[in-house]
Copies of this chain bind each other. A is one copy, B any other.
Amino acid sequence: MDNNLSGDELLKLLEALSNPYRLKIIAVLYEERQYVSQLARELGISRPLLYLHLQKLEDVNLVKGQLEVSENGKAMKYFELNPFVLNLNQQLIFDLSKTLTLKRNSN
């Protein structure tokens, strides 16, 4: 087992990553941190939608946001990437499946 997360956490992480905008957000933030409005423009989506995506990324700790006040006095919420790496393979899934919750049990 190469990671210290649970099956449920793995699942949440995979869910967070399984959306094109969220992947794109990661790609953009990989180059440099950015504030919400600007990020929305770059991605071509509305701020409310972006918030939703950022939320999901933040929930699994892929991303971190902080509100700052710029020189000109404006409140800016900057987001940046948290480092992460996951070696995904069958063995890992097998191991973590033991701590994975299914709605209806059995297993």
**Contact yes or no, A104 B45, CB < 8 A:** yes
A97-B23 in contact (CB<8A): yes
Is B89 a contact of A20 with CB atoms below 8 Å?
Answer: no
Residue of B14, B23, B96 near A7 (CB, 8 A) is: B23
Interface of chain A residues 66 through 83 with chain B (CB within 8 A): 81, 83
A83–B90 Cα gap in the complex (Å)?
7
Known A-B contacts A88-B86, A89-B85, A90-B83; A23 and B11 likewise in contact (beta carbons under 8 Å):
yes
By the criterion CB–CB under 8 Å, are B104 and A44 in contact? yes
Contact between B23 and A105, CB atoms less than 8 A apart: no
Q: Does A50 contact B (CB under 8 A)?
A: no
